[in-house]
Amino acid sequence: MATGSDLRRLALALEGTTEAPHFDRVAFKVARIYVTLAADKRSANFRLTPDEQEFKCMLMPNAFAPIGNAWGRQGWTVGTLARLSVPELKAALEMAWRNAQGKARKPREKK
């Protein structure tokens, strides 16, 4: 069973991750926020793609569900931490972390 402390430890171990308050939650981000931890530390919202969301929700419907709004249709997915093992949490965090990486910018050509 994963906990909010596990999420924080695993998220901060991912390269470039910072932690900051985000409304009533704690956000973990690289170029963008990739996961937020609820104030009660029982659930987290993950930045997944819609395909990844569908897969996670199909694979573990007792642990993952789409957020019930426009954010959910974009792939944001709520995970119930107590229903995840630490390796399952780590896999979801790594997936969300990859999705939040900034787009590589092409250098401008000199004229």
Residue 105 predicted with pLDDT over 50: no
Q: Is residue 99 predicted with pLDDT exceeding 70?
A: yes
The pLDDT value given to residue 107: 47
Burial of 87 (0-12, 13-18, 19+ CB in 10 A): exposed
Q: pTM higher than 0.85 for the full model?
A: yes
Q: What is the pLDDT of residue 76?
A: 98
60 lies in some domain? no
**Would 23 be classed as within a structural domain?**
yes
Average pLDDT, the chain: 93
Q: How many domains does the chain have?
A: 1
Give the rounded percent of residues in the chain with a pLDDT score beyond 70: 92
pLDDT number for residue 14? 97
Does the residue 105 lie in any domain? no
pLDDT in tens, 15-52: 999 999 999 999 999 999 999 999 999 999 999 999 99
On whether residue 16 sits in a domain, the answer given is yes
For residue 78, is it within any domain?
Answer: no
Q: What does the pLDDT average to over 83-104?
A: 92
Residue type, 92: A
Residue 72 pLDDT grade (very low, low, confident, very high; cuts 50, 70, 90): very high
> Range of 27's domain?
1-34
In a domain, 8, yes or no: yes
Q: Is residue 50 situated within a structural domain?
A: no
Query: Does residue 4 lie in a domain region?
Result: yes
Through-space distance between the first and last CA atoms of the chain, rounded to whole angstroms: 57
CA 9, distance to chain mean position in Å, is 14
